[in-house]
Structure 1
Amino acid sequence: MEKRDYDAVVVGAGPNGLSAAIALQQAGLSVLLLEGKATIGGGMRSEALTLPGFIHDVCSAVHPLAAVSPFFSTLPLHQHGLEFIYPEVAAAHPFDNGSAAALYSSVEVTAAQSTRDTAAYTKLMQPLLQNWQQLLPEMLGPLKLPPSPAMMRFGLNALKNATSVAGKHFKTPVMRGLFAGMAAHSMQPLSHAGTAAVGLALLLSGHAAGWPVPKGGAQQLANALATCFTAMGGTIETGVMVQSLQQLPSAHAVLLDVTPAQLLRIAGHQLSAFYRWQLHRYKYGMGVFKIDWAIEGEVPFTNEICRQAGTVHLGNTLEEIALSEHAVWKGRTSREPFVLLSQPGVMDSSRAPEGKQAIWGYCHVPGGSREDMTAAIEAQVERFAPGFQERILQRHVMDTAAMEAYNPNYIGGDINGGVQSLDQLFTRPVLRYSPYRTSKKGLYLCSSSTPPGGGVHGMCGYYAAQRALKDLFSKR
């Protein structure tokens, strides 16, 4: 690493680190971006995990939040090689009776899948969609007081638990199941307050912008952001694993795309005792167990709609999903886990040789669990797609330890950088006037452990950069 002076150093080249670096470079600063791994991207890397010719997304694959990110949308990423591909069906949710619910771009088409719930779904979603442009900055940003009228209306249901919202608004298992699958992305029991917000946000993003995949793999999004940064004059160095602040060149601002656990290791002795105490209280949540498959043909779902969807939620009814997620929260693995399945090959034929697909699926497990969930996950896929296991050519498995080794931010396999519960959503990682400032002047946190939390949207990095620009450089 070159030891020359910079205005700012950003550590970690995931979506938030890249966004922070770009925002600082845009302001006219000299910025160095350091990445511990050999390849930039964090949760946006793609690799050949199984057989030659198969491109697998190691973590994120489908990017509804990237498609609507208020910061990404200002960048000329398409000029740097990024192309989003949108499936006709954003997400599908099959049931044991052979039927399936689906998320379409149209509220009306989605609502019409269940005659008894058509009016209720439309009444719930249409007003929120009409206020989407007002809602989006507050949904993907730090806490704003007072909230806008649009946000207050969203909060009427969003602050509740997913089970109660589904039970109040929907009469049929079809819509209840669809909503439960969305809310389960929260990685919490569906009985927890605030889980409805995740379900509503994912449904809204599907209606507003779709659930796209980057053509050629998630790495293409990372590469486009990196090229955007270097084209402005920024510098990237990979293979630099930062263990302490003393490793870094002189800079007015240092922004760390790490979670509280790494922050304590890197800079703990330079932080105030009270701030360290707050960081030690930060809560990490469920982990994930993930399988990548190279398969022959397509996933043989019984329901044709599922064969057209970029994402498929496997969990059957709301009650079954709720039971599975509650067990995991209590420290037990589920024999019939809720499984998120990504099949980008439905839209992007560049991911695998002709007639084959590269897909992945994961389930939630207790944080740090080393239990092998391969059989349970594949049984869930087989349940809704008989004959699936006969089509597997090769598999690649990652438990929570492998996830954390791949990305140190995934403590115990937690891909959200900490529990996104109401008590540490807008106050993550600690309760402070600015969640991006640490107790050390010039040191900032820009990871998913700050608002608005997990997901590939870059807004944690963007807002951390804005804070540093205002504090140290008197500019925004």
Structure 2
Amino acid sequence: MQKTAYDAVVIGSGPNGLAAGITLQRAGFTVLIVEAKLTVGGGMRSQELTWPGYVHDVCSAVHPMALLSPFFKSLPLKDFGLEFIDPKWAAAHPFDDGSAAILEQSLEGTADRLGRDGSAYRNFMEPLLEDIPDLLPELLGPFHWPKKPIAMAKFGIKALPSAKHTAKNFKTKEARGLWAAMAAHSIQPLQNVATSAFGIMLMAAAHLNNWPIPKGGSQSIADALTAYFKSLGGEIQTGFEVKTLTQLPAAKVILADITPRQLIKIAGDTLSASYRAKLEKYRYGPGVFKIDWALDDMIPFSAAECRQAGTIHLGNTLEEIAHYEKCIAAGKEADRPFVLLTQPSVFDCTRAPGLRHTAWAYCHIPHGSTRDMTAAIENQVERFAPGFKNLIKAKHTFNSAEMEAYNPNYIGGDINGGIQDIFQLYTRPVLSVSPYRTSARNIYLCSSSTPPGGGVHGMCGYNAARQVLKDVFNVKSQA
């Protein structure tokens, strides 16, 4: 590679790497993004994993946080081909009796469906929806004194308790099950402190913007971000695996969209011994096992509402979900997984040929587990959609080791770049005034191992780039 000098080099082209590159390029600095794979995207990639013509999302598929993200809101991505599709319902949660709880975009509609828990749900969520839009830059960034302390305190009172504690607000299986599934996105035991924050943010995302699905697959988000970055003059080189910093061209600063373990390997003695010691203590969480299916038809859920929901949570009751997530966190195997499922082809005809369909699902597993969860996941789908197995024409699976081999940021199958519990929510990867800085003055972390953590929102990269603008380029204020 020609050793051309840049203002910044970004390692990795996931949502955070692209966000960092775009933020710096928009500020007038020259940026090169290097990517090990031949395509950009990180967790935003789509491929024909089963049969030709069946487009599957390799990692993330539904993006609740994308339209909440202050970074994404600032971009003209529609002009670069990105189109989001709104499913009729954001999420559905079926039960063994054939009924289902539904998360609608409408707060009132969701509350009305929850029967005698409707008032409790409305009273819990309505004040939060008034405050969250103004709090987003702080909720999706590093910890600092909030601009609206009273509103933040009101949020914290509801967000800091465990999901199991918050569930005491609800009496019906519908409200309790729906809430448990939302909080279980934290990939933690539901008795953990601050797991309510995950449920709150996901429900708020639905009520504020729905849970959108990108037309054509998640790759379309990566492609739009790439096209916009290049329109600003940014450069990307794919097929460039960084094993040592000496491979990179000269630059004033390096931003790394990687986790602490890879940073230690790549940067080595460039980092101080004390900082490396702190990074070595960084904790990774449970992994995931993922399946993609090519199907003959739509999944025949017993609860008809599930057939029009963008995301379906298969876990039945709060108690069943809580038991499973507790087992996984303890490193134990369990046979009735909490399954997160979506069938994008119901809303996007570009995903499969003719009248056929694709479906995507995963469950949480112990960190590094290579157990084949195919039968367990398919049994859970069949449980709520009798006849599902007869529709399967082809399938593709990823265990935790295969997830990490595909994307080295997924250590042990951990898709969040490190566990997001109360001890690592705002102190990721280390306790610091600015978690994006490393001990090396010209190296910054911009991955999901920094606040606010996992998800397709770009805020880790955006926040890191803003820190770089201030520290390195003496730009004091950025939009």
TM-score over 0.5 (shorter chain): yes
Aligned residue identity for 1:205: A
* Map of 1:157 onto structure 2: 158
Deviations 1:375-425 (A, max 9, x none): 000000000000000000000010001100111000000000000011111
* Map of 1:346 onto structure 2: 346
* Map of 1:122 onto structure 2: 122
Using structure 2 for the length normalisation, give the TM-score. 0.98
Q: Kindly report which structure 2 residues correspond to 1:236-251, keeping only aligned pairs within 5 A, or say none.
A: 236-251=236-251
Q: Following the alignment from structure 1 to structure 2, what is the Cα–Cα distance between the partners of residues 273 and 434?
A: 19
Tell me how many residue pairs correspond in the alignment: 475
Report deviation, 1:346: 1.9
Q: Does the residue aligned with 1:44 lie in a helix, a strand or coil?
A: coil
Q: Is the 8 A contact 1:90 1:310 kept in 2?
A: yes
Deviations 1:270-326 (A, max 9, x none): 111111111011000000000000001100100000000010000000000000000
- Where structure 2 has 5 or more consecutive residues not aligned to the other structure, the ranges are none
Q: Does the residue aligned with 1:109 lie in a helix, a strand or coil?
A: helix
Aligned residue identity for 1:396: H
* Map of 2:170 onto structure 1: 170
Q: Does the residue aligned with 2:363 lie in a helix, a strand or coil?
A: strand
* Map of 1:293 onto structure 2: 293
Deviations 1:27-63 (A, max 9, x none): 1111000000011000000000001110000001001
Deviations 1:72-102 (A, max 9, x none): 1111100000000000100000000110001
* Map of 2:440 onto structure 1: 440
Q: Following the alignment from structure 2 to structure 1, what is the Cα–Cα distance between the partners of residues 457 and 150?
A: 24
Report deviation, 1:246: 0.6
Q: Is the 8 A contact 1:132 1:208 kept in 2?
A: no
Q: Is the 8 A contact 1:189 1:322 kept in 2?
A: yes
* Map of 1:61 onto structure 2: 61
Q: Does the residue aligned with 1:375 lie in a helix, a strand or coil?
A: helix
Deviations 1:212-244 (A, max 9, x none): 011000000000000000000000000000011
1:70 aligned to 2:77?
A: no
* Map of 1:221 onto structure 2: 221
* Map of 2:376 onto structure 1: 376
* Map of 2:98 onto structure 1: 98
Report deviation, 1:3: 1.1
Aligned residues with identical type, % of pairs = 59
Q: Does the residue aligned with 1:416 lie in a helix, a strand or coil?
A: coil
Deviations 1:100-151 (A, max 9, x none): 0011011111011122111100000011111232122222111121463222
Q: Following the alignment from structure 1 to structure 2, what is the Cα–Cα distance between the partners of residues 298 and 405?
A: 31
* Map of 1:265 onto structure 2: 265
Q: Does the residue aligned with 1:20 lie in a helix, a strand or coil?
A: helix
* Map of 1:42 onto structure 2: 42
* Map of 2:136 onto structure 1: 136
Q: Following the alignment from structure 1 to structure 2, what is the Cα–Cα distance between the partners of residues 356 and 262?
A: 40
Q: Does the residue aligned with 1:157 lie in a helix, a strand or coil?
A: helix
Q: Does the residue aligned with 2:43 lie in a helix, a strand or coil?
A: helix
* Map of 2:364 onto structure 1: 364
Q: Is the 8 A contact 1:309 1:346 kept in 2?
A: no
Deviations 1:416-470 (A, max 9, x none): 0000011111110000111000000110000000000000000000010011111
* Map of 2:337 onto structure 1: 337
Q: Does the residue aligned with 1:254 lie in a helix, a strand or coil?
A: strand
Q: Following the alignment from structure 1 to structure 2, what is the Cα–Cα distance between the partners of residues 352 and 144?
A: 46
* Map of 1:32 onto structure 2: 32
Q: Does the residue aligned with 1:395 lie in a helix, a strand or coil?
A: strand
Q: Following the alignment from structure 2 to structure 1, what is the Cα–Cα distance between the partners of residues 283 and 5?
A: 36
Indicate the larger mover: 409-418 or 139-148: 139-148
Q: Following the alignment from structure 2 to structure 1, what is the Cα–Cα distance between the partners of residues 102 and 135?
A: 24
Q: Following the alignment from structure 1 to structure 2, what is the Cα–Cα distance between the partners of residues 163 and 355?
A: 42
Q: Following the alignment from structure 1 to structure 2, what is the Cα–Cα distance between the partners of residues 334 and 162?
A: 21
Q: Following the alignment from structure 1 to structure 2, what is the Cα–Cα distance between the partners of residues 441 and 415?
A: 28
Q: Following the alignment from structure 1 to structure 2, what is the Cα–Cα distance between the partners of residues 148 and 299?
A: 46
Q: Following the alignment from structure 1 to structure 2, what is the Cα–Cα distance between the partners of residues 470 and 133?
A: 25
Q: Following the alignment from structure 1 to structure 2, what is the Cα–Cα distance between the partners of residues 441 and 8?
A: 13
Q: Is the 8 A contact 1:244 1:266 kept in 2?
A: yes
Q: Does the residue aligned with 2:66 lie in a helix, a strand or coil?
A: helix
* Map of 1:81 onto structure 2: 81
Q: Following the alignment from structure 1 to structure 2, what is the Cα–Cα distance between the partners of residues 136 and 28?
A: 26
RMSD value, Cα: 0.8
Q: Does the residue aligned with 1:66 lie in a helix, a strand or coil?
A: coil
Q: Following the alignment from structure 1 to structure 2, what is the Cα–Cα distance between the partners of residues 138 and 171?
A: 33
Q: Following the alignment from structure 1 to structure 2, what is the Cα–Cα distance between the partners of residues 184 and 115?
A: 23
Report deviation, 1:269: 1.3
Q: Does the residue aligned with 2:70 lie in a helix, a strand or coil?
A: coil
Aligned residue identity for 2:388: F
Q: Following the alignment from structure 1 to structure 2, what is the Cα–Cα distance between the partners of residues 140 and 228?
A: 23
Report deviation, 1:355: 1.4
Report deviation, 1:2: 2.4
Report deviation, 1:343: 1.1
Using structure 1 for the length normalisation, give the TM-score. 0.99
